Amino acid sequence: MKFAESLPASILEAIRRARSGIAGYLDDETYRKRLQDKFGNRWNMKVLVQASRDDHKKKETGKLTEESRKIYERSNYQGTGRLHKRRKAVKVVQLRFQAIPGGEDLVLEAKTPVDVPRFRMAHSDEFDQPWHFAAWVPNDPEGPTVIINIDSPILEEVITYHQTEYPDIYAEEVAKIVCRVFGEVAACKIAHSQKLTRLITEEEVNRDYRNEQALTLGLMGLIAEDSLIGQRLSSLGIRRTEPQLLQSTAERTRALKRPA
């Protein structure tokens, strides 16, 4: 942390410039589809939803809630005769009320995909503590969103470490890649935690397992996150050689010792 707090002005300026360009990239939500496609059935969850009398699945009784959930079903269509061609599977989306056990409404158990939330960058004034790493905002105007604190010293320390591994010309790109990785990892953690609603209520999940403290601790790992960051940074090319790293470190040390 002390190194991050005493960063040279040139590195701080590079981080700030990188931050200013992150918001535009985050409008691209292809990562959400990529993650959903990658994990597929592993991110499905079983829930009780409203049933109709025409449903062929096993029905039971329960109590409908005010919340609704999208249920995805696939139907295969195949024509007959020479002039008909086989059609691809069609995804049908149905919106049904959720339900809980104990009631007289007709309900059934259905599989539904876990949604991958959006993420965006924000400054420390949106967090309970200025050093917290991330926060979960399920009622964000743009939809359920994870926000990453770009002022967090935890994030600055990770950015600085990886910037020293590459030539200065890549400083901005390194910062963007690191921020994007943590945004995607945080979104995945929120998506995965949705499975806890099979055991406790959504309110309890948000309060106890998605609060700022829990997300901050969950994002402080170095194994999974660093591995993903390394894969993304490999596209930048060759890292600094050992002599370059030593020279760069020496230059920063001299810069810190110069009188203001």
pTM above 0.75, yes or no: no
CA distances from 200 to 56, 69, 87, 192 (A): 29, 17, 41, 14
**What is the per-residue pLDDT for 24?**
32
**pLDDT by residue for the chain (260 residues), tens digit each?**
344 445 566 665 555 555 444 543 344 567 777 776 766 666 677 788 888 777 777 788 888 888 777 777 665 555 555 555 555 566 677 788 888 888 888 888 887 777 788 899 999 999 999 999 999 999 888 888 999 999 999 999 999 999 998 888 888 889 989 998 999 899 989 988 988 887 888 889 999 999 999 999 999 877 778 888 888 888 887 777 655 555 555 555 555 555 55
Tokens 């943590």 — which residue? Answer: 182
**What is the per-residue pLDDT for 247?**
56
**What is the per-residue pLDDT for 91?**
67
Count CA within 13 A, CB hemisphere, residue 194.
21
Rounded CA-CA distance 48/63 in Å is 9
**What is the per-residue pLDDT for 88?**
59
**What is the per-residue pLDDT for 130?**
95
Alpha-helical regions (H) of the chain:
2-5, 9-20, 22-25, 30-39, 153-163, 171-193, 202-204, 212-218, 223-233, 242-257
CA distances from 161 to 42, 155, 254 (A): 34, 10, 18
